[in-house]
């Protein structure tokens, strides 16, 4: 953590199928008059092909956060 950046990490212990590893880093950066929120989510299913197939599922799950954050922080 620093004056312009803070974060916390969620790490999966009991994961749903097909996940074997999950580490979600929530990062906030201060930028002039705003804050940038970044999600870094490395995951592993045990198989590279399954990882590639699972990626779009995660993208669809987390994409709405873009609008949710904008709505919440501009209200």
Domain count, the chain: 1
pLDDT reported for residue 51: 97
In which band, very low, low, confident or very high, does the pLDDT at 74 lie, cut at 50, 70 and 90? confident
pLDDT in tens, 12-63: 999 999 999 999 999 999 888 888 889 999 999 999 999 999 999 999 998 9
Residue 73 neighbours by CB under 8 Å, 6+ apart: 35
Residue 15 sits in which domain range? 5-74
- Taking the whole predicted model, whether its pTM rises above 0.85 is answered as no
Report which DSSP code applies to 14.
S
Query: Which residues have C-beta within 8 Å of that of residue 39, sequence separation ≥ 6?
Result: 24, 25, 26, 27, 62, 65
Sign of the C-alpha dihedral computed for residues 57, 61, 62 and 66 taken in this order: positive
């Amino acid at each position: 953590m620093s004056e312009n950046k803070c974060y916390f990490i969620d790490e999966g212990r009991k994961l749903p199928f097909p996940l074997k590893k999950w580490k979600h880093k929530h990062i906030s950066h201060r930028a002039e008059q705003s804050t940038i929120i970044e999600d870094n989510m490395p995951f592993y299913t045990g198989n590279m092909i399954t990882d590639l197939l699972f990626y779009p599922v995660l993208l669809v799950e987390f994409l709405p956060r873009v609008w949710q954050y904008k709505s919440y922080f501009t209200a």
